[in-house]
Amino acid sequence: MLVNVSRTPLSPTPRTLVNRHRERGQTDRAALDDVLDSALICHLGVLYDGQPVVLPTGYGRDGDTLYIHGSSGAKSLRPGPVCVTVTIVDGIVYARSVFHHSMNYRSAVVLGTTRLVDDPDEKMHALAVVTEHLAPGSWDHARLPTRKELAATNVLALDLTEASVKIRNAPPSDDDEDVEANTAWAGVLPLTMEWGVPESASTLPVPEHVLKR
C-alpha cells in the first residue's frame, strides 16, 4: 500500500505564507496530500548559475516524502534547493469585468532541499511510488528495473514540511455595480482531463489497469 494519510497540520513558514488571495490558502495538511495525489506531473524549479530553471517531471508521494526521478546525467536531478509546484486547473472563471477573470484551480508549492536517494531499498521503493503515480498498476505488470537501469536513474527525495496550498473553487466574484449593470455574462467553464482510447503497441490485450483508468 503506497498511499499514506498524513494528519500533520500544514504550518506555513514565512517563505510559504500565502500573501495574495489569503482566502485561497489551505491550512489542512490533507489538502496538500489531495493536490499532490490528484495531479499528474509537477514543475521542478532549480537554480543554474543564479538563473531559475523550471522543468516538468513526474513524481510520487509516500507519506511525508515526495520523490522525483530522472536520468542520472540530468543536471536538474542533482540534490539542492528546489521548488516543486503542482497545479490542476479546474475551470475558467468568466467575470463581468476583465479584471475579475480568474481560474478555479488547486495548487501546491513545496520548498526544500532535495536529498539523493542512494539506499537501494529506498531507491526501489521510490521508483515504485513514482511509477504508480504516473501509471498505476505498471509496477506489478511491467518488467522491473535492472541493476544497470537503476544506475542510470537518479532519485531525489523532498520532505513535505514546507509547503503551501491554494484552492479556488467558486463562481466569479464581480463588483456590485457590474452585477447590477448586467451587461456581460459571468460563470465558470469547467475543465477536466479525460483519458482516451488506449493505442496499443502490443499483441497482448489492454490490461485492466489501463482500460479502467
Site for a second copy in 79-98 (CB under 8 A): 81-85, 87, 89, 91-92, 94-98
CB-wise, 5 or 183, nearer to a second copy? 183
CB-wise, 5 or 201, nearer to a second copy? 201
Q: How far apart are CA 13 and CA 168, in angstroms?
A: 21
Q: Which position among 17, 141, 169, 180 is part of the footprint of a second copy (CB under 8 A)?
A: 141
> Please, what's the b/e burial string for 119-158 (b: 16 or more CB within 10 A of its CB; e: otherwise)?
eeeebebbbbbbbbbeeeeebeeeeebeeeeeeebbbbbb
103 sits near a second copy (criterion: CB under 8 A): yes
Positions in 50-79 near a second copy (CB under 8 A)? 50-56, 58, 70-71, 73-75
CB-wise, 79 or 207, nearer to a second copy? 207
Write down the least CB distance from residue 23 to a second copy, Å: 14
Residue 135 in contact with residue 43, Cβ under 8 Å? Answer: no
Write down the least CB distance from residue 79 to a second copy, Å: 14
> Please, what's the b/e burial string for 55-79 (b: 16 or more CB within 10 A of its CB; e: otherwise)?
eebbbbbbeebbbbbbeeeeebbee
State phi, psi for 138 to the nearest 5 degrees. Answer: -75, -30
Q: Which position among 46, 66, 126, 129 is part of the footprint of a second copy (CB under 8 A)?
A: 46
Q: Which position among 11, 40, 115, 120 is part of the footprint of a second copy (CB under 8 A)?
A: 40
For 76, which DSSP code? G
Length of the chain: 213
Rg (CA), the chain: 20
- 94 is written with which cell numbers? 468568466
Write down the least CB distance from residue 34 to a second copy, Å: 16
Write down the least CB distance from residue 207 to a second copy, Å: 5
203 sits near a second copy (criterion: CB under 8 A): yes
